[in-house]
């Protein structure tokens, strides 16, 4: 019951749900592709069973990563990875046709496809979730259980919202930058130095620096990618008019 009145618990839970939703767009696409060839009566069971298996595997991964985070230097590495993930989130991706995932012919094939694809694609999610939870196993499990149904059954709605309000993507990337700064500053190798330089505000300052880095670098790379895409369209139009 104490958890219900703990602001840190609710803040961590909110962060886990947000980052898991933002980073799981590809996973939702995989689910749709894996189930598209199934008869209608098998689709929902495949989605539910595959997603449940993916949650279990992701929880196990989170436990392993949470344990690794106690090793010196791992938090620094995790922080750097989160910075990269945050920047990547802001840059438009090329359409690769769903990462080459094919529709499965049978129910068990679809379930296996969903679970295996989630394992391969979820490293960024796991690192971000563990960073948000700060090693709290209960938070990890509750956050995943709450967010996965939103991803599975609300993926199309979420996609429309994110496309209509790009600022939400930037805000999500900024959240990853904040987590990256905090987790990196909390690594045993640098924690005492950070405290000596900035006192109790060290991790907060590192979090703000993470936001600036992710949003700044992400914005620059996004503009370059958009300019490159516009140039390619312009060149193609020029060739067609010749």
| Selected residue with higher pLDDT from 69 and 220 | 220
Three-state SS annotation for the chain: CHHHHCHHHHHHHHHHHHHHHHHCHHHHHHHHHHHCCCCHHHHHHHHHHHHHHHHHHHHHHHHHHHHHCCCCCHHHHHHHHHHHHHHHHHCCCCCCCHHHCCCCCCHHHHHHHHHHHHHHHCHHHHHHHHHHHCCCHHHHHHHHHHHHHHHHHHHHHHHHHHHHCCHHHHHHHHHHHHHHHHHHHCCCCCHHHHHHHHHHHHHHHHHHHHHHHHHHHHHHHHHHHHHHHHHHHHHHHHHHHC
Could you tell me the pLDDT band of residue 182, with boundaries at 50, 70 and 90?
Answer: confident
Contact 72, 187 (CB under 8 A): yes
Least confident of 75-84, 102-111, 163-172: 102-111
Token pair of 143 as six digits = 């956050």
Q: Residue 220: which pLDDT band, with cuts at 50, 70 and 90?
A: very high
Instruction: For the beta carbon of residue 67, count every other beta carbon within 10 angstroms.
Output: 12
pLDDT tens, position by position, 105-123: 566 776 776 676 666 556 6
**Per-residue pLDDT for 103 more than 50?**
no
What integer is the mean pLDDT of 183-198?
82
- The mean of the pLDDT values for the chain is 75
Asked if pLDDT for residue 96 goes beyond 50, the answer is no
Query: What pLDDT is recorded for position 34?
Result: 65
Residue 67's contacts (CB-CB under 8 Å, 6 or more residues apart) are: none
C-alpha angle 22-28-32 in degrees, rounded to nearest 5: 160
Q: What percent of the chain has pLDDT over 70?
A: 71
Cβ distance 143 to 19 under 8 Å?
no
Q: State the pLDDT at residue 97.
A: 42
Model confidence at 128: pLDDT above 70: yes
pLDDT band at 212 (very low <50, low <70, confident <90, very high): very high
Give 111 or 216, the one with higher predicted confidence: 216
- 212: its two tokens: 């600036």
CA angle 218, 223, 226 (to 5 degrees): 120
Other CB atoms within 10 A of residue 44 CB: 12
Is the pLDDT at 216 greater than 90, yes or no? yes
State if pTM tops 0.75.
Answer: no
Q: Which residues contact 17 (CB under 8 A, 6 or more apart)?
A: 143, 146, 147, 150
pLDDT tens, position by position, 34-47: 666 667 777 777 77
**pLDDT higher at 124 or 89:** 89
* 183 has a pLDDT exceeding 60: yes
Q: Are 125 and 22 in contact (CB under 8 A)?
A: no
């Amino acid at each position: 019951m104490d958890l219900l009145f703990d602001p840190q618990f609710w803040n961590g839970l909110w962060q886990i749900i947000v980052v898991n939703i933002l980073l799981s767009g590809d996973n939702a696409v995989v689910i749709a592709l894996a189930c598209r060839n199934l008869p209608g009566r098998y689709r929902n069971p495949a989605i539910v069973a595959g997603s449940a298996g993916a949650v279990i595997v992701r929880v196990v991964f989170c436990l392993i990563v949470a344990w690794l985070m106690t090793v010196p230097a791992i938090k620094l590495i995790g922080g750097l990875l989160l910075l990269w993930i945050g920047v990547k989130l802001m840059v438009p991706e090329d359409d690769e046709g769903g990462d080459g995932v094919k529709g499965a012919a049978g129910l068990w094939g679809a379930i296996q496809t969903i679970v295996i694809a989630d394992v391969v694609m979820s490293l960024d999610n796991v690192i971000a979730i563990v960073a948000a939870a700060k090693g709290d196993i209960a938070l990890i499990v509750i956050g995943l259980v709450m967010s996965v149904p939103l991803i599975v059954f609300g993926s199309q709605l979420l996609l429309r919202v994110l496309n209509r309000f790009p600022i939400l993507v930037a805000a999500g990337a900024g959240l990853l930058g904040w987590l990256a700064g905090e987790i990196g500053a909390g690594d045993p190798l640098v924690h005492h130095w950070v405290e000596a330089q900035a006192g109790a505000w060290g991790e907060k300052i590192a979090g703000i620096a993470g936001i600036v880095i992710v949003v700044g670098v992400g914005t620059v790379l996004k503009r370059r990618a958009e300019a490159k895409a516009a140039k390619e369209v312009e060149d193609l139009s020029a060739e067609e008019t010749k």
